[in-house]
Amino acid sequence: MKLQTAVSCASDIDDVRKFLKENYPERYALIENWEELTPKLSLKRVDSERCILYLEVSPEEFEKVMNIFPTKEEALGAFLTTAIESGWEVVPTGYVVYHAEFQGDKLIAGIKTQEGTSKHDQLHLEEMIQKMARYPRVVVYSSEVLTYIKDLYPEVDSKAYVISREIAKKVGRAPDLEDLAKLYGKDISSLEGKLELIEELLRSPVRLPEGEVSLKPYHYPLEL
């Protein structure tokens, strides 16, 4: 299991464990509370001010707590719960692209995964969300579409990589998806077309009217 968290790191860090303990005690608490385990800590600098800390624990490590938990799976689940509460997240290794729109007075939502594309009407959103929940990242263009499923899927905000938000961080304002479709020469008259374009925008750099811009990868911590 590999976890990550974003930290401020204006100066070089020689001892990651010491840095974490002194500057982020709430995140270091994960290590203290699971002292039986021997995690591997590493660091990746994103820019002059920000870093990503990684914490990796091999599955074999959980053998050490089998006197506390009945199964390795339960131990791993408890560790993950503690990690999330302490400000860590699992490093995403996959994503689901999500978009929704009104067709007349009916809400139609769609998702795109490695398995393909599926559409769901308002009465079958729970079925869609069950599929979405398998993925650690939900990729959307605008945060507006998250409001349609938030009641059924309240944790979606903590998983959502919002492309327009990342563009706005770089250039101040994100164009409409329709404007990007013209730049990319894409037909987005269908929901499937919109999902395909949103996924293509994950491939950095992104083309904008002002020129190209590089966005952070979807698998980075969202708070960066």
Question: What pLDDT does residue 219 have?
Answer: 97
Containing H/E element for 206? strand 206-208
Confidence at 50, pLDDT banded by 50, 70, 90: very high
Q: Which of 204, 224, 202 is nearest to 214 (CA)?
A: 204
pLDDT digits (tens, 9 = 90+) for 173-197: 999 999 999 999 999 999 999 999 9
Q: Where are the domains of the chain?
A: 2-90, 96-213
pLDDT digits (tens, 9 = 90+) for 33-47: 999 999 999 999 999
pLDDT digits (tens, 9 = 90+) for 56-115: 999 999 999 999 999 999 999 999 999 999 999 999 999 999 999 999 999 999 999 999
Question: What pLDDT does residue 204 have?
Answer: 85
Tokens linked to 21: 């303990």
**Cβ neighbours around 147 below 10 Å, total:** 10
Q: What is the pTM of this model?
A: 0.91
Confidence at 133, pLDDT banded by 50, 70, 90: very high
pLDDT digits (tens, 9 = 90+) for 74-90: 999 999 999 999 999 99
Containing H/E element for 52? strand 50-56
pLDDT digits (tens, 9 = 90+) for 136-167: 999 999 999 999 999 999 999 999 999 999 99
List, edge to edge, every strand of the sheet that includes 40-45.
40-45, 50-56, 2-8, 89-90
User: At 6, is the secondary structure helix, strand, or coil?
Assistant: strand
96, 90 Cβ separation under 8 angstroms: no
CB neighbour class for 119 (10 Å; exposed up to 12, middle 13-18, buried from 19): middle
Instruction: Give the chain's mean pLDDT.
Output: 96
